[in-house]
Structure 1
Amino acid sequence: MLTISLFFLSGSIKAQTTFVRLSTSKGNILIKLYDETPHHRDNFVRLVKKGLFRDQEFNRVIKDFVSQGGELDETILKREKLNPNVPAERLAAEIRTELFHKKGALGAGRDDNPEKSSFLDQIYLVQGKIQTDAELDALEVKKGIKFSASQREVYKKIGGIPRLDNDYTVFGEIIEGLAVAEAINAVATDKNDRPLKKEAFTITILDKKEIRKPVKQ
């Protein structure tokens, strides 16, 4: 896993332009944001610069599924219901077949709107499970999609949530600190999937010098 992580990290620096650090009580997570989803990337960077993701918390953690942070669905939808004359704010979907819900992917949460547009400030880290060829075959039939050979390889080796593909925007991925994300996803929660102990995090944008450091280690 370390070799794979370093391989992706060294390639990521050449291919992508924006990296962030998610600092948690369990360690740091390094994430690259995809240039292929520029609106989600830029919206996320804007919110980070505004301080929205400073001392935030993982407020919904579902084991072997996702670890979610930012504003909850219920809070967003309640506010919108109380202000029916104010247009709902959503970010147009940037769903690309090559950006998929492998373990470690960063996605944007949303409600069940038909356009599949995203909430502005709700994110999730994919945990998921190892998939089999039979499970992937069944999903292809059910969803009318086709997984590439490389996607199948990833889903069978490290896992993910392929049933979310083509329905939610994936706009980044973990390139270092996957074990930290696993630890967060394993915390004890209540019946509403909220961690029993606050799992706080702060997100910062990295400069080029900070990005290169892990590659030299």
Structure 2
Amino acid sequence: MCTKEKGTVVRIETNQGTIRVRLYDETPLHRDNFIKLVNEGFYTDKIFHRVIKGFMIQGGDTATGHFLDYTIPAEFRMPARFHKRGALAAARFGDDTNPEKASSASQFYIVTGEKYSEFGLDALQKERYERLKQNIYNELQSQKRDTMKTLYREGNKAGLAELRAGILAEAEKQAESRKTETLFTDEQREIYMKEGGTPHLDGEYTVFGEVVEGMDVVSKIESSPTSVRNRPLEPVIILRARVDH
């Protein structure tokens, strides 16, 4: 994978070979944090602790699997920056404890993914639209929670039904006005079909760079035999990382 775009390049040296990644200037919080950790030597003797063939390789782990004690605010830059094969993105805790989708300070993953058909992308678009509508509905319902509690205490079933119907109608209206957010661009479709990736992660995890050299090394790591918890049986070690230019 190659690119002529500008941006800081970081060399990640592993016991399986070297991977070079370019960091996006459009995600300055993630870029600067990654460079800071690299310059501090944080990634020396860390591991790729989670490897799933046809999906991604995840690294920046310590022996205990602990995260650093801070997070990075999400920097979604859709549709320009997405989960194509070779994308560098930040891991994070799940939505139940992290609804803001803030990123881990240190753990990152590199997308390998799989190729999608046009039918598959159409199906994902529908899922994204329904998820958007559900999120809007949940937010609107949260705003009306006190009113709903009052109607429930009063036993006003008709009032509750009317309120819920109104919330649903408003959610559908707002979702339709934002439908373009759920659509794949022509560029995304072409890349996901020809090169592959993990499109279901778009808008969920911050993509802050991409591999510019060493996808063969990524593929080698991706093929590592793993345990039932997707941990390589033989350690895949990040020996060191340094800024190239």
**Same fold (TM > 0.5):** yes
Alignment match of 1:61 (pick from 22, 47, 51): 51
Kindly indicate whether residue 242 of structure 2 is the aligned counterpart of residue 204 of structure 1: yes
CA positional deviation for 1:76: 3.8
The whole-number CA distance in structure 1 between the counterparts of 2:183 and 2:86 is 21
The superposition leaves residues 84-131 of structure 1 with CA deviations (integer Å, 9 ceiling, x where unpaired) of xxxx62110001111100111101000121101101011001111011
Aligned length: 187
Letter in 1 for 2:186: A
The one-letter amino acid of 2:10's match is V
The partner residue of 2:17 within 13, 24, 27 is: 27
1:173 maps to 210
1:185 aligned onto 2:222: yes
User: Aligned pair 1:115/2:152, yes or no?
Assistant: no
Q: Which runs of 5+ in 2 are unaligned?
A: 130-181
Asked if structure 1 preserves the Cα contact closer than 8 Å seen for 2:46 and 2:61, the reply is no
User: In the alignment, what sits opposite 2:86?
Assistant: 104
Structure 1 residue 75: deviation in Å?
Answer: 4.1
Alignment of 1:18-167 (within 5 A): 18-71=8-61, 75-76=65-66, 89-97=70-78, 98-112=80-94, 113-144=98-129, 145-167=182-204
Matches of 1:90 and 1:28, distance apart in 2 = 27
In structure 2, C-alpha distance between the alignment counterparts of 1:141 and 1:96, rounded to whole Å: 21
Instruction: Give the secondary-structure state (helix, strand or coil) at the position aligned to 1:111.
Output: coil
**1:176-215 alpha-carbon deviations (Å, 9 max, x no partner):** 11111011001000111110111111211113xxxxxxxx
**Residue type matched to 1:66 in 2?**
M
For 1:156 and 1:22, the matched residues in 2 are separated by 28
| Structure 1 position 25, deviation (Å) | 2.1
Q: Which is greater in Rg?
A: 2
Letter in 1 for 2:59: G
- Give the TM-score taking structure 1 as reference length: 0.82
What amino acid is aligned across from residue 179 of structure 1 in structure 2? Answer: D
Show the counterpart of 1:82: none
Corresponding position of 1:211: none
Bigger relative CO (Cα 8 Å, ≥ 6 apart): 2
Deviations 1:52-85 (A, max 9, x none): 101211111111111011237x8447x9xxxxxx
The gaps in structure 1 that reach 5 residues or longer are 80-87, 208-217
Taking structure 2 as the reference length, the TM-score comes to 0.73
Pairwise CA RMSD: 1.6
Mean CA deviation greater in 22-31 or 59-68: 22-31
